[in-house]
Structure 1
Amino acid sequence: MTDVSHVAIDDAAELAGQLRDLAGTDPADVRQVVSEVLAALDRAAGGALREHLPETIRAGLDAASPTA
């Protein structure tokens, strides 16, 4: 049986590794990717994630939100 917490840790480690690889190219690109990922997570959480983030990051979420 698969341990859910182990899978989540593996997924988080894989994402962190991908971000580290990306960071070597252009920090501005990394910031954009992180903003987009956080915005997607916030949407998936119904807006609850942003309540737990610093104001500077929340501003980035607003900038990364897709316009309809």
Structure 2
Amino acid sequence: MNERDFEQQLKDDGFQEIEYQKLDPRSGKGRHRHHFEIRGLVISSCVSRIVAALPASSTRRS
């Protein structure tokens, strides 16, 4: 799914406020919740992991 299709689906489902965010890499926010519905589309991401005690990274672009 691309950004345009995702935005149209949100509008079709009644969402009136659409916000775009670019987030810097960080650890998770832990368990939390919102008093409203949130949907997100990840456009690109970078995942770091430890393999045999050596750092490794991978980047994904949709």
Tell me the TM-score normalized by structure 2. 0.27
Choose 1 or 2 for highest CA Rg. 2
